[in-house]
Structure 1
Amino acid sequence: MDSGASHSFISARFASCLDVTPDCLSYTLEVCTPTGNSMYTDSVYRSCEMSMAGISLYADLIVLPICDFDVILGMDWLSAHCARMDCYQKTVDFCLPDETTFQFQGDKGFSTPIISFIRASRYLEKGCEGFLAYVIDRRKEKGLSLEEIPVVCEFLDVFSRTLDQTDPEEDSFCLG
């Protein structure tokens, strides 16, 4: 779900797996990406069914040559399903026209931004290449100490142990 997207999209690769023929739009749509590039399309899959919490919801999905996401549900879909997003709790509450309500719960595991969106945008505008990564630190779940991490042990001369002053329980590494 992307509240920054005005429309909902489907990747051309993922769409090829559907057993449905897309409709042609009566116009060519120009889609501007966060990196400043434009993509053009005139194909849409109408009323695609998806299930969330056992409830069937439908979306018109515009075909784009994207590869990082299969489907992007934008503001058209979110508003049609009366969605309320709580970014802090990572939840989306739905209140459908027939008064059915349910909640989608996202993953709370990632809460510390590595780089701000504005700084990343500036780097991309200057021609830098960007990659989106989602990393979960499972070390604490498994009870591993820093000394038990094989890569760190092998390269002690590269990694130096530092203590984060804001959270004394959290270990961090810096290249040294």
Structure 2
Amino acid sequence: MSEALAISTLIGKSVVLTHRCPSYPVLVGEMFLPVDLFVMPMTGFNVILGIDWLAEYGVVLDCLARTVTFYITSLPVFQFVAEPRVEPLSSLLALVAEDSVVESIEQLPVVCEYLDVFQEISGLPPCRQVEF
């Protein structure tokens, strides 16, 4: 990778990504689709697909129906249907840092006004059972 990519995670940690796997084939349903992957030091997730990749393949997410529909030019529309999960759901968001990085929550204007309400997040919340 010619240049590093800096990201901030939901828990306020900054990570610099230096390894990239270009055009890696990801299996979605029965279709292989290429994606540029960045290697991240984390566990619990195989791949995080970004908004640019989803838009490139005309993806429509229907959370209620648990479907992912792909509208790819020159291909028939196809849909991936997720199986219901029995185990607790966990999620992690990663924000790509473009122009600026917030080093601490005290730098956010709303937080400055209510410092007694906001606290630094030290980790992810504990796993809990979620019923659908």
Identical amino acids, percent of aligned pairs: 26
- RCO higher in structure (CA 8 A, sep ≥6): 2
Q: Distance in 2 between matches of 1:74 and 1:135?
A: 27
Aligned AA (1:28):
A
Pair 1:36 & 2:36 matched: no
For residues 48-86 of structure 1, the C-alpha deviation after alignment (integer angstroms, 9 at most, x for no partner) is 112223212110001111112121112122111110111
Give the count of matched residue pairs. 103
1:55 equivalent in structure 2: 31
* Structure 1 residue 97, shift from structure 2 partner: 1.4
TM-score (norm 1): 0.50
Normalised by the size of structure 2, how large is the TM-score? Answer: 0.64
Query: Does residue 133 in structure 1 map to residue 127 in structure 2?
Result: yes
Which of residues 62, 68, 73 in structure 1 aligns to 2:44?
Answer: 68
Structure 1 stretches lacking a partner, 5+ long: 1-23, 114-122, 138-176
Deviation, structure 1 residue 108: 4.1
Structure (1 or 2) with the larger CA radius of gyration: 1
CA distance in structure 1 between the aligned counterparts of 2:66 and 2:48, rounded to whole angstroms: 17
Please give the alpha-carbon distance, in whole angstroms, between the structure 1 residues aligned to 2:33 and 2:41.
24
Give the letter for the 1:60 counterpart.
D
Once residues 45 and 60 of structure 1 are traced to their aligned partners in structure 2, the CA distance between those partners, rounded to angstroms, is 6
Structure 2, gaps ≥5 residues long? 90-116
Aligned partner letter, 2:124:
G
Q: Deviations over 1:8-34 (max 9, x none)?
A: xxxxxxxxxxxxxxxx1x221101111
Report the RMSD for the aligned CA atoms in angstroms.
Answer: 2.9
SS at match of 2:34: strand
